[in-house]
Amino acid sequence: MKNLGSAWLKFGLFTVGLGQSFVFVIVPPLARELGLSEVQTSAIFAFSAIGWALTSAAWGRASDKYGRRNIAVLGLIGYSASLVAMITPLFLVEKNLLDLAFLFPLLVFGRMLNGLLGSATRPAAFAYVADTSSEDKRTVKFARLESSFLIGTVAGPLIGGFLILISKETPFYVFSLLGLVASIGIFKNIENTSSLSKKNSDKSSKVSWRSHSVWPFLFLASISSLCLASLIQTIGFYIFDTFPSIEDLPVVISMTFALLSISTIVSQYLFTDAYPLSNTKLLIYGTLLLSFSYCMMAFYPKISVYYLAIIVNGIGGGLLRPAISSSLSLAQSPEHQGSVAGYLGSVYPIGHILTPIVAMPIYAINPSFLYYFSSILCLLCFIFIIINPVFSKK
């Protein structure tokens, strides 16, 4: 039953990955084509990221109290509803059945469903795995969950690209349906467990992000989130600005995203499953590889080197992210797993919130400066890991 339940959780995160990547690919050009500005389009995703950051910790605590299954299912339903709520106003405006004035607020509402409700799935899923896995298997279990989501982000544009030949709305409705299928599978195959009894439920709610066993991991996750979001949101700009003579630049951009995701998945498999490393080594090697990759991007503006840097970045990210999740989980008592998973989920959107404020102004001065900045941040993370004793215990 546990194996079947974990499989449905992985499928659930896979479906979320499908929709997340496809939304980022298709909604911005569709919205701009219908009359929204770039600022309005970016604001749609910024509002959602803020909603995600504000609610993820609460959903983690809710999974402690009301059970992992219920909260994971609620998140998938919210995610599925958000896909329908986003594509429907785009379709209606395109067919002149809805006034353009309503498009922006309706898109904000649709994406906010994902930020406010869709944010429930991830902390509940990771808390469930923490509840049902041994300490020595925690890292590989978390890595497999991460990989399920990443595989979805790779498959989303590919599958969506075929489905969009039917109509622009088809991929959204299909991905929404898959999310609902995953929610049914989770509901029927996972026991609604939580690690709390009524006696200690109040105790669990008191775990703080300021705790010495929590905040260092949130700090690392925040920095890695900013670096990754800065990279993702500037890949298209950087390739067009730096390699304008290359033909089929949209294909180059798509290949870049695919290389980043695939290298991350391969890295997670190799170094957490096939040839597992300790969490401390994963953290150290991951930050060093990320720092090196950003230096490569800044120093050598050649497309072949850029591809290599992207692969190195994916490998570094594949080491770092599951190690942060696993180390944080192992540093907590069982009754706090949902809460800390929620805290972790709340900091990952920080990068998308800060990128327009921090990263884009640096990029506007000089694209290389942004990658130098990210490299320095990763190097500071490496030093932080070395000097902070909480990491040596993992």
In DSSP notation, 332-349 reads: S-GGGHHHHHHHHHHHTT
- Among the listed residues 31, 262, 305, 306, the one whose alpha carbon sits nearest the alpha carbon of residue 152: 262
Region 345-372: mean pLDDT is 87
Same CATH fold assignment for domains 2-189 and 215-392: yes
The domain segmentation of the chain, as residue ranges, is 2-189, 215-392
pLDDT > 70: percent of the chain: 95
Q: 248: phi > 0 → left, psi -120 to 50 → alpha, else beta; which?
A: left
Region 343-348: mean pLDDT is 86
Question: Is pLDDT above 80 for 41?
Answer: no
**What's the confidence (pLDDT) of residue 38?**
66
**What's the confidence (pLDDT) of residue 286?**
96
With beta carbons less than 8 A apart as the criterion, state whether 385 and 311 touch. Answer: no
The CATH class, in words, for 2-189 is mainly alpha
Query: What is the signed CA dihedral for 335, 218, 279, 3, rounded to 10 degrees?
Result: 50
Residue 355 pLDDT grade (very low, low, confident, very high; cuts 50, 70, 90): confident
pLDDT one-digit tens code per residue, 157-183: 778 878 888 988 899 999 999 999 999
Query: What is the signed CA dihedral for 163, 149, 309, 158, rounded to 10 degrees?
Result: -10
Question: Is pLDDT above 90 for 151?
Answer: no
Residue 80 pLDDT grade (very low, low, confident, very high; cuts 50, 70, 90): very high
pLDDT one-digit tens code per residue, 181-212: 999 999 999 888 765 544 444 444 567 878 88
State how far the Cα of 104 lies from the Cα of 43, in Å rounded to an integer.
9
Question: Is pLDDT above 80 for 335?
Answer: no
Question: Is pLDDT above 50 for 277?
Answer: yes
Rounded to the nearest integer, the mean pLDDT of the chain is: 87
State how far the Cα of 103 lies from the Cα of 88, in Å rounded to an integer.
10
Question: Does domain 215-392 sit in CATH 3.40.470.10?
Answer: no
Instruction: At 207, give phi and psi (nearest 5°).
Output: -65, 135
Region 50-64: mean pLDDT is 90
The answer for residues whose C-beta is within 8 angstroms of residue 308's C-beta and 6 or more apart is 296
